Structure 1
Amino acid sequence: MKNETNYSPKRNADRHAYLDINLKEGLGYGWRYQENWHEEMQFYYVVSGLGRIRCESDVFDLRAGETLLINCNELHVIESLCDQLTFCSIRIDLAAMFQDMPDLIHLNYAEQLMQQRIVFDHIIDEKEQLVPLLHKLIAEHESHLPGCELALKSVVLQILVILIRNYIQKIYTKKRFDLRISSLNQLKSVIAFIHEQYTESITVHDLAERALMSESHFCRTFKKLYGKTVVAYVNTLRIEQAEKLLQNSPLTITEIAMNVGFNDANYFSRVFKQLKGTPPQTERNRIRQTMDH
């Protein structure tokens, strides 16, 4: 659940009011940055190794050279799936940047960007020119050369042009955006409850009551906001936890299934294979081979 405890403020605000770039190096298998959210858009660029990012209800595995975009206010977490993960995170505060450029505030898209009403696709095609621009942004940030502030703003604007032309998923009207935020706030307690009680039996009826909605309205609203049915969301969470147990627990497959909330080991195996592409035992063998190397 998004709340003040997992809100993540900018770390380098003293250098650039609108830009925050950080490099994390040599992160071992199982390393995990806490689940967090923030008001800036963020790029994750994997320099080497393999990392996994969960953004809201979606999960992405990123290899060296691959990039992922996190939209404003999206709850996300990153973890290492290798012995040596190195990645760069780039956070851009569009509202702060445009406030320093008043001549651009009234241009097309500027207001929507500042109000966080544009949602971009997460996956960035590594063949696109956007990735070299991210490299250039990092280089300018580290250079401290004369005129670097001008160069940084120029590169960010080029990045925004590419995103607007190629990666817009949706644009909310002000009314729709306010309704979405209202619905998200209404479902906060439901999401928190699911994350706390996923190992127990969870019914749509109980969740709808918690959200103060009818079951049909709750199911429609949940799928619209999170892109999945309640059952799919709960199963995804359970499988993620099961995968961690496969990595670092001596429990049997059946014990793991029961531990994360499945009452039927065969159903657990089917759902695991559906979401991960392999049966749980095959995944456990792969993990052990990876760790042995």
Structure 2
Amino acid sequence: MAEDQYLHEIVTPTEPLSAWIYLHHEKGVTYIAPHWHQGIELSFTIAGSIDDFVINEHHYRTQSGTILVVNSQVVHSVRSVLKVADEAISIIYPYDYVNRLYPEIQNEVIDLNQPAKFNRFQKEIYIEVQTTLFKIYKSLQSQNKFSNLKLETLADQTLQLLLEYFTKPKTEYDIIYGTKEFEVAGIQAITKYISEHYANKIKLVDIATQVNLSKEYLAKFFKNHMELTIGSYINNVRAQKAYYDLLGGKYNLTEIAVKNGFSSIRAMN
């Protein structure tokens, strides 16, 4: 997966489709640092499981058939040990695309992550969404000249079902997934600053100035909400960036370390 599609606010659709669609079938330890984007993200576990998918401080362990939705501007992360047979689909709908088709999304959230609370009708629709997503999976596996037409249609059908049957007004909540809105905004501002400046030396005071908090409160606030220190988070972002540079094979280790904000190869290791 292209890391800039995850760590930045702007999501680039999979050409020529309207949404970004990706089939995960990697193996090994996967860690996607906490991040957010404007788009609406959907994760569908085909086989196996995702050990820890964190959405605004709520931890989910998925299994085959699990669907998770990350609403616009919600901080989320993934940590999992993926086995050979594990597979999952990610779809990110650009916010402008959703808003153009369904302007009501500005005042609503998609509430899909707790199926135990569904009414009988929603449970039936959930199965329909699972079926549609599985069709997307099959289309990704067997590409032909009609694949883009199928993927576009199925992705839109999935979005329509989510918006028609699983949305709730934002006004019903003082809290979005357990976190107050101003706290979510604070986390978003911090992670955005780090994602834009990870290659440089970042001081705690620089971040504190950007979000109008004291250094002391900033450190405590971040640790409470993200379950790791700001220093660890910065290193995780840098390590994730360095990982993709290593895969690319364009730079030597010293260049990768410097390019991604590490003081040395030893620090990167």
What's the TM-score bracket when you normalise by the shorter of the two chains?
Answer: 0.5 to 0.7
Match of 1:25 in 2: 25
Point out the structure with max Rg over C-alpha.
1
Contact 2:73 2:188 in 1 (8 A): no
When normalised by structure 1's length, the TM-score is: 0.49
Distance 1:97 1:134 in 2: 18
Change (3 A) 1:139 1:145: farther
* Residue pairs, 1:165-244, within 5 angstroms: 165-172=164-171, 184-185=184-185, 234=224, 237=227
Query: What is the SS of the residue equivalent to 2:163?
Result: helix
1:7 is matched with 8
- Map Cα deviations across residues 101-146 of structure 1 (whole Å, 9 max, x no partner): xxxx5xxxx1122x4x321124274852111111223445664444
Counterpart residue number, 1:92: 93
Alpha-carbon distance in 2 for matches of 1:118, 1:67: 19
| Cα distance in structure 1, aligned partners of 2:187 and 2:77 | 20
1:119 aligns with 2:109: yes
Partners of 2:55 and 2:164 in 1: how far apart?
23
CA–CA distance in 2 between the matches of 1:165 and 1:5?
Answer: 26
**What CA deviation, in whole Å up to 9, does each residue of 1:39-72 have, x standing for no partner?**
2111111122221211121111111221111111
Whether the 8 Å contact between 2:26 and 2:82 is mirrored in structure 1 is: no
- Once the two structures are aligned, what percentage of the paired residues are identical? 12
Instruction: Provide the C-alpha distance between the structure 2 equivalents of 1:190 and 1:147, rounded to a whole number of angstroms.
Output: 39
* TM-aligned CA distance change 1:181 to 1:124, over 3 Å: closer
**TM-score (normalised: structure 2):** 0.53
State the SS of the aligned residue for 1:62.
coil
From the superposition, tell whether residues 137 and 95 of structure 1 become closer, same or farther in structure 2 (CA, over 3 Å). Answer: farther
The alignment's C-alpha RMSD in Å is 4.4
Kindly provide the amino acid, as one letter, of the partner of residue 73 in structure 2.
N
Question: 1:40 matched to which residue of 2?
Answer: 39
Unaligned runs of 5+ in 2: 116-122, 173-179, 193-211, 215-219, 233-269
Q: Is the 8 A contact 1:23 1:89 kept in 2?
A: yes
| SS of 1:135 mapped into structure 2 | helix
Q: Which amino acid aligns with 1:91?
A: I
Q: Secondary structure at the match of 1:137?
A: helix
Q: Distance in 1 between matches of 2:97 and 2:30?
A: 32
